[in-house]
C-alpha cells in the first residue's frame, strides 16, 4: 500500500472511529456502473499510459481495490469512502465539497501543488478555491527522508512574509524553485529547510520503462556520484544540490520532472475515449504525444504533451481543441 493511501486511511479512521469497510460491491455517485472488490497485480514493466490509477486521487493502485468491469474506472478502498464535505485549515472560511470532473477533456488546477488534475477535488465555489484529493487530505505535519526533523505544512505562507523581507525569497530545497506566498509548502524553519508540495509528494521509488530496476529518490550530499551527473532523458546536467532519481545498478540518473509519470501531468489519469466531429474513430487521452505528432486542428506539436490520440490512425488532438470538436459529449 502506498504512503498516501495509508495516510488518508489513518485520517479517516481517526475522524470516524472505525475501520475502512470492505464491501463486495459499491456504487459511486457520478459513475453509472457498480464497482466490485478485486485484487490488482501491477506489472512494473507495463505501459505507463495504462498504469492502474485511482480515479479519485490519481495514485497507483497496488492491492485490493474497487473496479468497474465495464470501463477503466478504479478506486482505492479508502477513496471509495471519502467524505462529501471537508473542513480544511488552508481555507477556514467555508466548507469544501467533493466535486467530480465529468468531461473527458476538462482539467482543474490545485491551489496547493499547482498541478492540474482530472480526478476528484474539494472545492469552495464561492472563493474559486480548489484542492485535489491528495493535497486536501495531507496531514499538517509529515516525516520526510530528506530532512531529520518533521516538516510542518504552511498554508499561503503568511507567516513567512517577514522571512522574505529580511532574508530574501524562499526556495525549495528539493528543486530550487521559488516558493511564492500564495502557494503551500512544508518547512522546518529552525533549519531553514523548505519544500514545495511538488517535491514533498514525490514517491520514494518509481518505475520507468527505460530501466528494469526501481529508481530511488536521492538527496544531497551525493557521496557515491561522479562530480557531474546527467539526466538520461533530457541529457542535461542535474544540479548537485537538488533531488533526483537514480538507479545504482545501471548508474543512471533522472530529473524528477523528466519521468513522464512525475511530470506536469502527474495528477492526471489517461485512457478515456471520446468521439469528435470529422473523425470516424474514437480518440483516447494519452500522457504524451508521439514524436513529430501534431494536433489535427491547430497543428501545434504534441510531442511530450498530453493529448488525445486515435489508435487506428495517426490522428491526434490537443486538449485545448477537443471541446470545440466533441461530438455531443459521446463517450466510448
User: In tens digits, what is the pLDDT along the chain, a chain of 332 residues?
Assistant: 345 555 555 555 444 445 566 777 788 877 888 898 888 765 544 444 456 889 999 988 888 889 988 887 899 888 888 889 999 998 999 999 999 988 889 999 998 888 999 999 999 999 999 999 989 988 889 999 999 999 999 886 455 545 544 445 689 999 999 887 667 889 998 999 999 988 998 989 988 877 889 999 999 887 766 678 899 999 999 998 999 999 989 989 999 999 988 888 899 999 888 999 989 999 999 988 888 899 999 999 998 889 999 999 989 999 999 999 986 544 44
- Measured CA to CA, the distance from residue 203 to residue 261 in angstroms comes to 11
Co-location of 77 and 102 in the same domain? no
Rounded Cα–Cα distance for residues 197 and 174 (Å): 10
Residue 325: inside a domain, yes or no? yes
pTM score of the predicted model? 0.82
Q: For residues 89 and 69, state if they share a domain.
A: no
Q: Is the peptide bond between 221 and the residue preceding it cis, with omega within 30 degrees of 0? A: yes
Query: Would residue 36 count as lying in a domain?
Result: yes
- Does 53 fall in a domain? yes
The answer as to whether 63 is a domain residue is yes
Clarify whether residues 233 and 291 are in a common domain.
Answer: no
Q: Does residue 267 sit within a domain?
A: no
Pair 122, 177 in one domain: no
Please tell me whether residues 224 and 189 are part of one structural domain. Answer: no
Cell numbers that stand for 181 in this block:
506566498
Same domain, 7 and 71: yes
- Would you tell me how many other CB atoms lie within 10 Å of the CB of residue 96? 23
67: containing domain: 3-81
Q: Confirm whether 286 is domain-assigned.
A: yes
Do residues 223 and 246 lie in contact, with contact meaning Cβ atoms separated by under 8 Å? no
Assess whether 10 and 74 both reside in one domain: yes
23 within domain boundaries: yes
Same domain, 8 and 76: yes
Cell of 295: 494536433
Give the count of domains, the chain.
5
d(CA 164, CA 304): 36
Structural domain includes residue 268:
no
Amino acid at each position: 500500500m502506498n504512503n498516501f493511501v495509508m495516510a488518508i486511511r489513518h485520517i479517516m479512521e481517526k475522524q470516524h472511529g472505525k475501520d475502512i469497510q470492505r464491501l463486495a460491491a459499491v456504487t459511486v455517485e457520478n459513475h453509472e456502473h457498480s464497482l466490485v472488490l478485486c485484487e490488482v497485480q501491477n506489472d512494473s514493466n507495463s505501459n505507463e499510459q495504462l498504469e492502474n490509477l485511482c480515479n479519485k486521487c490519481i495514485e497507483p493502485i497496488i492491492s485490493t481495490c474497487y473496479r468497474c468491469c465495464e470501463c477503466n474506472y478504479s478506486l482505492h478502498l479508502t477513496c471509495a469512502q471519502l467524505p462529501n464535505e471537508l473542513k480544511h485549515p488552508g481555507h477556514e472560511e467555508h466548507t469544501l465539497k467533493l466535486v467530480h470532473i465529468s468531461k473527458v477533456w476538462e482539467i482543474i488546477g490545485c491551489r496547493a501543488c499547482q498541478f492540474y488534475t482530472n480526478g476528484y477535488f474539494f472545492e469552495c465555489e464561492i472563493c474559486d478555491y480548489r484542492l485535489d484529493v491528495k493535497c486536501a487530505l495531507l496531514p499538517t505535519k509529515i516525516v520526510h527522508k530528506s530532512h531529520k526533523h518533521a516538516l510542518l505544512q504552511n498554508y499561503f505562507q503568511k507567516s513567512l512574509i517577514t522571512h522574505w523581507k529580511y532574508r530574501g525569497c524562499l526556495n525549495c530545497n528539493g528543486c530550487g524553485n521559488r516558493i511564492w506566498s500564495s502557494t503551500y509548502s512544508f518547512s522546518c524553519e529552525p533549519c531553514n529547510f523548505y519544500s514545495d508540495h511538488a517535491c514533498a509528494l514525490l514517491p520514494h521509488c518509481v518505475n520507468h520503462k527505460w530501466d528494469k530496476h526501481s529508481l530511488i529518490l536521492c538527496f544531497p550530499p551525493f557521496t557515491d556520484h561522479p562530480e557531474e551527473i546527467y539526466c538520461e532523458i533530457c541529457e542535461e546536467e542535474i544540479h548537485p544540490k537538488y533531488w533526483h532519481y537514480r538507479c545504482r545498478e545501471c548508474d543512471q540518473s533522472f530529473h524528477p520532472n523528466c519521468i513522464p509519470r512525475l511530470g506536469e501531468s502527474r495528477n492526471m489519469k489517461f485512457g478515456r475515449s471520446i468521439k469528435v466531429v470529422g473523425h470516424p474513430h474514437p480518440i483516447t487521452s494519452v500522457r504524451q504525444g508521439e514524436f513529430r505528432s501534431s494536433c489535427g486542428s491547430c497543428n501545434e506539436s504534441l510531442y511530450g504533451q498530453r493529448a488525445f490520440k486515435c489508435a487506428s490512425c495517426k490522428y491526434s488532438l490537443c486538449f485545448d481543441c477537443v471541446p470545440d470538436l466533441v461530438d455531443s459529449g459521446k463517450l466510448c
